Structure 1
Amino acid sequence: MRSLERGLAILRAFDGRPPQLSLSEVAARSDMSPAAARRYLHTFVELGYLAARGRSFVAQPKLVELAYPYYATAAFTRPVETELEKLATELGESCALTVRNGPHVTNVLSANAHQELAVQIQLGRRLPAYCTAMGRVLLSVLPPDEIRTILEATERVRHTANTVTDLDELLATIERARNDGYALGDEEFQIGIRSVAVGVRDASGAVAAALSVSAVASRVSTTTLITTMLPKLRNAASCVEVHLATGTER
């Protein structure tokens, strides 16, 4: 089991930032020695999940196969993708459905806008919850003590000059997301990108995912996100909730 856990840590190291990783970078990200990381890397290269590029390694398309069972067995996938595509077309901006796993969130479905300079959302990308709109929405539905515990255990990196890392300020921001029913991300994880997110409930009524829209900051203001895009985002979330609850098209 320990070997499986470490192998998955190697694969998770390849999050696309940067697209190629050296042995030392993989070892650091997976918290193991270079010698151990090398053995796993060579195994994944032999299996076709990774490829060697000189002294670096890069993810291969075969990795997508590992996610296929999830999408193949999820009855809601195609209808929800359709809702995301409709929303992306209507807004002219990219959108995603995201779930939380501890202190991180992962994009499980996405629809990228086709206009020039639109944000391109990576399917399967893992992001920190504390400094993203999606993460704050998903944290906001937890009990306050649990939110504090997660944030205290999180390495709160200052990704940009806008990143909020202070614990009390983050708690206040997440509480505001709870009261408002949405959260904003204003160039906190990546310079030049703003996002707004709302919660999506499953059949039990619990918030199981977040639906978000991301836009280039130079083109879309926070005011536009809230006044123009948020109402449409909420409408789309209502449609997605039907699919999550029934697994059928509305």
Structure 2
Amino acid sequence: MSKTSSMGRGMMAIFAVGDRHAEGHDGGTVAEIAARLDKDRSQVSRSLKGAHQEGFLARTGDRAYTLDWSLLTDAQLVTGQRLRTDGLTALEGLATETNEACFLGVLSGNSTVTIAEHVPASANLVGSWLGRPYPAYCSDAGQALLWDAPEDEIRRIFQDVEFVRHGPNTPASVEEFLGRLEDARARGYSIVDEEAEPGLYSLAAPIRDFKGEIVAAVQVVGPKSRLEPQRGSHALALASWRDWLEARVGGTASGGISGNP
């Protein structure tokens, strides 16, 4: 048996344990994992023991194997660090291609918060948005950050929020926000057209991590008169740098963005 095939079997066993967790189980026994993989129990037992010895799996009192959550915590810390370091590289590249201000935002309750930005001189934007919260229902990143959220979760997030008008096209209700989010999902990226403030236009896309969860949104922001005519090319640039950053944080390319309406 080659080292590669042994490693492959070990990874399959670890993924099978992860699948059991995703289904609501507390890991799995050798018999349960072997049945899931349709493999010989002795072979699966060796794979699980090896993964346990290497620190990828832990054991429970009833002899079930579980994921070692300390590794997941470490991975999440790395993700956060890379969002801020590689995120800046992505924003610089995106700003170079679009000549517009570019931001990286995260969700905090019912608001979005900018964690990284790159604003070229040509963007003519004054001041910094770093660390400043903005209502998610009309912010440049709001739709992208709630991309995967089910309707009931979105309604819960906004249940105590007053939909204050910040621009001529600010959504007036959660129903209106949900409608725009549905359009964005079909398009592959969000458009915030004078929702955050008059004359401001933006495109945004979600960033997924190694678990497939949305951890941030990358945005291109600028005057509507300048950005809207270039929407197609800017959307393609947004997709390219979104894919690059997702790869850096262990995610997989989301796809689905084209330069067409």
- Specify the TM-score bucket, using the shorter chain as the normaliser: 0.5 to 0.7
Q: How does 1:189-228 map onto structure 2 within 5 Å?
A: 189-221=196-228, 223-225=229-231, 227-228=232-233
Distance 1:121 1:196, change over 3 A: farther
Further displaced range: 237-246 or 211-220: 237-246
Q: What is residue 168 of structure 1 aligned with on the other side?
A: 175
Distance 1:171 1:116, change over 3 A: closer
Deviation at 1:138, TM superposition (A): 1.2
Distance 1:120 1:196, change over 3 A: farther
Structure 2 residue identity aligned to 1:237: R
- SS state at 1:141 partner: coil
Give structure 1 regions of 4+ aligned residues with deviation exceeding 6 angstroms.
none
- For residues 193 and 120 of structure 1, what CA distance do their matches in structure 2 show? 15
Contact 1:95 1:121 in 2 (8 A): no
Paired residue for 2:160, among 153, 162, 166?
A: 153
1:85 aligns with 2:92: yes
Q: What is residue 105 of structure 1 aligned with on the other side?
A: 112
- SS state at 2:250 partner: helix
Deviation at 1:166, TM superposition (A): 2.5
Q: What is residue 238 of structure 1 aligned with on the other side?
A: 243
Specify the structure having the higher radius of gyration (Cα): 2
Q: What is residue 71 of structure 2 aligned with on the other side?
A: none
Residue-by-residue CA offset, 1:203-239 (whole Å, 9 max, x unaligned): 1111111100001123222x522x1101110100111
- SS state at 2:242 partner: helix
- For residues 148 and 83 of structure 2, what CA distance do their matches in structure 1 show? 23
Contact 1:192 1:216 in 2 (8 A): yes
Contact 1:96 1:121 in 2 (8 A): no
TM-score by length of 2: 0.61
Contact 1:119 1:214 in 2 (8 A): no
Q: How does 1:4-153 map onto structure 2 within 5 Å?
A: 74-115=81-122, 117-118=124-125, 121-153=128-160
RMSD (CA atoms)? 2.2
Further displaced range: 152-161 or 188-197: 152-161
Aligned length, in residue pairs:
174
Deviation at 1:76, TM superposition (A): 4.5
- For residues 186 and 82 of structure 2, what CA distance do their matches in structure 1 show? 32
Contact 2:204 2:217 in 1 (8 A): yes
Q: What is residue 13 of structure 2 aligned with on the other side?
A: none
User: What's the % identity of the aligned pairs?
Assistant: 33
- For residues 130 and 106 of structure 2, what CA distance do their matches in structure 1 show? 12
Structure 1 residue identity aligned to 2:249: L
Contact 2:101 2:125 in 1 (8 A): yes
- SS state at 2:249 partner: helix
- SS state at 1:234 partner: helix
Structure 2: 5+ residue stretches without partners: 1-76, 252-261
Structure 1: 5+ residue stretches without partners: 1-69
TM-score by length of 1: 0.64
